[in-house]
Amino acid sequence: MMRHKIQFPATDVAELAQDEVYFYLLNGRGQRTKFRLHEYERIYQIPGLYEQVVYDRLKCQSPSTVTDVLQYALSQSDQRLNELRVLDLGAGNGMVGEELKKHGVSRLIGVDIIPEARAATERDRPGVYDAYYVMDFCSLTGDEREELTTWSPECLVSVAALGFGDIPAQAFLEAFNLISKHGWVAFNIKETFLDRSDESGFSTLVRELIFSEYLDLYHLQRYRHRFSLEGEPLYYFALGGKKNADVPRSFIETLQLPD
């Protein structure tokens, strides 16, 4: 894949929120174009750019870590990853799909809100997903829900897509309720989620789910998600567990999650 010339900002960006950090892409004439790290629709259009910034430079290890945690969870049961039909929520350009495929999965369904993610996956990782849908999990239509249900997904994986202005708590619950009753879940979440002072919707939801009858926690692992642009390690938890039942609307209402 093509190598790009990338420049990280010289000034201190430490005070920027994680979804505001940016880098520059340099062309052959030394002109630079600014990208925010979360401008996925622009980044995915340039082959190899996301991989080079997030995986080569910032050393993101979340797709492999979350896949490993899912494996640890499954190893405590009589089920195997290669027997599962997996839904990858916020699949992006397919990095997680590629990781899961290394282990073999029975079916792999990707979903992302932006068409550029699907286009990049088809361009750079053709054949990894059995189906890849462009859908917004915050507002699925009845037809979209039905279409996904035809795959009978029994495992939900979501990597680096939850929190930080990406997929909100409600969208995660939509996906959680879409997989089968005793299905498996694996995802990552920033390390502050275990502090009650972290009142973001997703952290609150996951804390409450862990203590609820809807999810059985099998494995929780703290790890370095990636480095920040200043070279500071960013720690997350990867969580693997088993679903026990759909989460009812009444449970969600008691949490009073932000939109």
Write out the residues near ligand SAM by the rule CB under 6 A.
40, 62-63, 90-92, 95-96, 111-114, 117, 136-138, 159-161, 166-167, 171
CB of 145 to ligand SAM, least distance (A): 13
Nearer to ligand SAM, 171 or 229 (CB): 171
Nearer to ligand SAM, 148 or 167 (CB): 167
Query: For 77, how many CA atoms within 13 A lie in the half-sphere containing its CB?
Result: 21
Say which amino acid occupies 58: L
Nearer to ligand SAM, 160 or 206 (CB): 160
Nearer to ligand SAM, 170 or 244 (CB): 170
For residues 233 and 68, the answer to whether their CB atoms sit within 8 Å is: no
Nearer to ligand SAM, 125 or 219 (CB): 125
CB of 212 to ligand SAM, least distance (A): 23
| Cβ-count burial 162-184 (b if 16+ within 10 Å, e if not) | bbeebbbbbbbbbbbbbbeeebb
Take residue 101 and report the two structure tokens written for it: 């495929």
Nearer to ligand SAM, 221 or 244 (CB): 221
Alpha-carbon distance 84 to 219, whole Å?
18
CB of 153 to ligand SAM, least distance (A): 15
Nearer to ligand SAM, 122 or 216 (CB): 122
**Spatial CB neighbours of 142, under 8 Å, sequence gap ≥ 6:** none
- Which one, of 130, 181, 134, lies nearest residue 155 by Cα? 181
Say which amino acid occupies 216: D
For the sheet with 131-134, list strands across it: 131-134, 107-112, 85-89, 155-158, 184-190, 233-243, 215-227
Alpha-carbon distance 71 to 197, whole Å?
31
CB of 211 to ligand SAM, least distance (A): 26
Q: Name the closest residue to ligand SAM (Cβ).
A: 92
CB of 29 to ligand SAM, least distance (A): 30
Residue position matching structure tokens 């009753």: 181
CB of 77 to ligand SAM, least distance (A): 24
CB of 213 to ligand SAM, least distance (A): 27
Take residue 213 and report the two structure tokens written for it: 């009858």
Cα 172 off chain centre by: 10
For the sheet with 22-26, list strands across it: 5-7, 22-26, 32-36
